[in-house]
Chain A
């Protein structure tokens, strides 16, 4: 079976661990617990009849992505950059962060994810769209589970396409 490493990164408190836990264990906790270092787990997904093992690294949030230890990127196939749609501080340097991440992973997949959409409405998101430095790829709610499975299936599908 093909196995791929995926990193969840972004600022602190954006919901990386919540996305990780929602996707892997279908659970959500309202309580914020800061992540230290890195936690890894894997899940086998099925994309168009093909099985793929996603090894997901949930890493400690850093306000600036160049603070993430370079060794965490070793062997990475995809990066999921998560921001919090309600906190400007988590997306105002999105362009610099994405430039840095693309430098770390020139041939990999980078997905930009706006999380916590359960806290806002459609008009808020429309306004956000016009103000964000780089467009997002998908909006999620780790709390309700909205688009969480889709996010990882999308990544899986792109990884499998890259592999063929």
Chain B
């Protein structure tokens, strides 16, 4: 797990955890480190401290040595800063992928074969 406190301007005020190596944190601002955060940052700044935390599951992140899935929990503090909690969920999501891949592949194959068997000009309203 890694926890960040980010200013409304997007700078790290405080961080703790072992998910992101120090060199990555030095090289990137949180917004650059994570395009997802960048794309919703304005909305986060607009949140009220009383607003419920925003949970963004299974973010697929690939930066330098970091490659995997992460759950984000984002909330606004009374002083206006943003609390960003990142949890590594790579293992459970990789397991999910291993489980889902053959199932979805088969479903897709079945539907495609069905389409090809009826020919390209089949009656699609049936």
Contact = CB atoms under 8 A, between A and B. Distances in A.
Interface string A63-86: 000000101101100000000001
Contacts of B42: 75
Contact of A36 (B35, B40, B97): B97
Given A124-B120, A131-B124, A74 B38 contact: no
A123 B119 CA distance: 12
B43 A74 contact: yes
Interface residues of B, number: 32
A86 B115 contact: yes
A124 B121 contact: yes
Output the residue of B54, B96, B97, B115 with the most chain A CB within 10 A.
B115
Q: By DSSP majority rule, is chain B's interface helix, strand, loop, or mixed?
A: helix
B60 interface: yes
Contact of B104 (A32, A42, A123, A128): A32
B58 A57 contact: no
A40 B100 contact: no
A37 B100 CA distance: 12
Nearest to B114: A87
A72 B74 CA distance: 13
B112 A5 contact: no
Given A32-B105, A69-B56, A72-B56, A87 B112 contact: yes
Given A3-B39, A86-B112, A89-B111, A37 B120 contact: no
A88 interface: yes
Contact of B36 (A12, A34, A38): A38
A55 interface: yes
A13 B110 CA distance: 12
Interface in B93-109: 93, 96-97, 100-101, 104-105, 107-108
Contacts of A88: 124
3 smallest beta-carbon distances between A and B, as pairs: A37-B58, A55-B39, A75-B43
Interface of A: 3, 5, 12-13, 32-42, 55, 57, 60, 69, 71-72, 74-75, 86-89, 119-121, 123-124, 127-128, 131
